[in-house]
């Protein structure tokens, strides 16, 4: 039977709270930078994919942004980073799809 801690919570919940507190207190410079970069590239792919004249650049941004967002998602440490990564992933995919519909990698 798990140990009881103050307030009647189990030791498992206490360890989870401690891990969350450590994640809040530590700086995640690399993970934050990857999440913001994935978000910016994803939104760029989305905007460029909508415009038929910029389909090539939208396709490139989508092809670069999606794997970056997937890798950043694996390395993320906080919920905020994960939210940015998911938004970047979806934006990259949709932007690349629109760009491919408008001509893809043809110049």
Exposure of 15 by Cβ count < 10 A (0-12 exposed, 13-18 middle, 19+ buried)? exposed
pTM here is 0.76
Which pLDDT score is estimated for 18?
73
Which pLDDT score is estimated for 97?
96
CA distance 11 to 32: 30
Which pLDDT score is estimated for 42?
97
Can you list the alpha helix ranges (DSSP code H) found in 7-54?
11-25, 29-50
Which pLDDT score is estimated for 29?
86
Mean pLDDT of each 10-residue bin along the chain, 107 residues long: 54 71 74 94 96 95 96 92 96 96 91
């Amino acid at each position: 039977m798990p140990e009881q801690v103050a307030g009647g919570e189990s030791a498992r919940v206490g360890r989870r709270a401690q891990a969350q507190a450590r994640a809040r207190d530590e700086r995640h410079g690399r993970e934050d930078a990857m999440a913001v970069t994935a978000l910016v590239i994803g939104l760029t792919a989305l905007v460029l994919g909508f415009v038929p004249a910029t389909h090539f650049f939208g396709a490139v941004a989508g092809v670069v942004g999606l794997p970056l967002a997937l890798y950043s998602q694996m390395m993320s440490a906080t919920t905020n980073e994960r939210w940015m990564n998911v938004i970047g992933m979806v934006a990259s995919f949709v932007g690349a799809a629109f760009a491919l519909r408008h001509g893809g990698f043809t110049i």
